[in-house]
Amino acid sequence: MQALRARTAELFPGVVVVAIVAVAALSLAGHYGAPVMLFALLLGMAVNFLSQEGRCRPGIEFTARRVLRWGVALLGLRITAAQVQAMGWQPVAMVATTVLSTIAFGIVVARAMGFKTFFGLLSGGAVGICGASAALAISAAFPQHPLKERATLFTVVGVSSLSTLSMVLYPLVARWLGLDPLQAGLFLGGTIHDVAQVVGAGYSMGHETGDAATVVKLMRVAMLVPVIGLAAWLTQAQAARQAGAPQDKPPLPWFAAAFVVLVAVNSLQLLPALAVGAGKQLSQVFLVASMAAIGMKTHLKDILRVGWKPVALMLLETLFLAGLFYGAMRVLAPA
């Protein structure tokens, strides 16, 4: 008990500071309709001196690592098996194909640009799955590295900006392509990065389009589990190579396993609707708080040093995803 009190006292100042920044980010995002992760990042960076101060640092580190994993696990409450089954096999095949192809494309192009495989997986996963939330989840499975948080931050900034831009442009593209409401929903849900932007773009075109877009987007969120497993496997493979030891079985981090369990629990309706709703809200709060904490640990000059190549990489991944999903939709989507 005494150790618990001491640990709580150690974490309390930093956690409180992060909570204040997270609440401010949620408030500003709700008022201006902008990506909440971007606000959390920018506000966190504005007070990054707090991560250097002795009293706040432990709580900031705790939120950036532990709270992040809790938020990822709770994302499982957004999905049910019934939602996936209602759409049929075609959207599932389209989502799986385009997400994995986008990640593979990101890795290949990243290597061609001189980046490591991990950055290609991080950016490709963020673009292909669910934007900033995916970037944070995949990053959580990577090993600690001096450049890890800089890469994560840059990916969050890039994918949030591209998601906002696509939210505005893609409904216009859907109308220009002459897509019907269901096809438009498939396209928006399969190509826009962040969940909030998918919902905004989908329901701006009508209820049927919004429903279809949301379900397809949640299918992409479900792809977090295999991709996190891939990230953990690559991390373990690298550690095994450096140690000269044989690689163990591919691991699944506890938060990915918890994600799967919560999807099953939600699908079987084992929790009351109030608890599911609270879990969804708590997931967003945890992810926003962890983004704020990561922002507090980063300096703007660290991001500016990265240059134009990561921007070009994420833009290419975004265009690749849109083109590939539209092509797959024309072949597989139901009439």
pLDDT at position 304, please?
Answer: 63
Say whether pLDDT at 244 is over 60: no
d(CA 126, CA 135): 5
pLDDT at position 146, please?
Answer: 65
d(CA 290, CA 60): 8
pLDDT at position 45, please?
Answer: 82
Q: Where are the alpha helices (DSSP H) in the chain?
A: 2-32, 36-46, 57-62, 68-74, 81-87, 89-112, 117-125, 132-140, 148-176, 181-191, 195-204, 207-222, 224-243, 254-267, 273-296, 300-304, 309-332
pLDDT range class, residue 252, cuts 50, 70, 90: low
Residue with tokens 């949301």: 214
Average pLDDT rounded to a whole number, residues 270-284: 90
Q: Tens of pLDDT along 129-168?
A: 988 888 888 888 777 766 777 788 788 888 888 887 888 8
d(CA 217, CA 129): 8
pLDDT at position 53, please?
Answer: 66
pLDDT at position 20, please?
Answer: 92
pLDDT at position 243, please?
Answer: 61
Our CA angle for 297, 39, 263, nearest 5°, is 90
d(CA 186, CA 290): 31
Say whether pLDDT at 278 is over 90: yes
The helix/strand/coil state of 272 is coil
* CA-closest candidate to residue 254, choices 62, 75, 70, 131: 70
- Of residues 237 and 105, more confidence is placed in 105
Q: Tens of pLDDT along 166-219?
A: 888 999 999 999 998 888 999 999 999 887 788 778 888 887 888 788 888 888
Q: What is the mean pLDDT of the chain?
A: 83
d(CA 201, CA 33): 12
d(CA 180, CA 174): 8
The DSSP annotation for 105-138 comes to: HHHHHHHHTT--HHHHHHHHHIIIIITHHHHHHH
pLDDT at position 116, please?
Answer: 86
Radius of gyration of the chain (CA): 20
* CA-closest candidate to residue 218, choices 41, 81, 24, 325: 81
- Tokens encoding 98: 């385009």
Question: Domain count of the chain?
Answer: 1
d(CA 276, CA 78): 8
Domain of residue 248, residue span: 2-332
pLDDT at position 48, please?
Answer: 81
* Distances, alpha carbon 68 to alpha carbons 113, 205, 292, in Å: 29, 33, 11
d(CA 226, CA 100): 10
Burial class (CB in 10 A: 0-12, 13-18, 19+), 94: buried
Q: Tens of pLDDT along 292-321?
A: 887 887 766 666 666 678 888 999 999 999
pLDDT at position 115, please?
Answer: 87
pTM score of the predicted model:
0.77
Our CA angle for 188, 126, 304, nearest 5°, is 120
Say whether pLDDT at 250 is over 60: no
Q: Tens of pLDDT along 82-109?
A: 777 776 778 888 888 999 999 999 999 9
CB-based contact 188:171 (threshold 8 Å): yes
Q: Which residues contact 67 (CB under 8 A, 6 or more apart)?
A: 286, 289, 290, 293
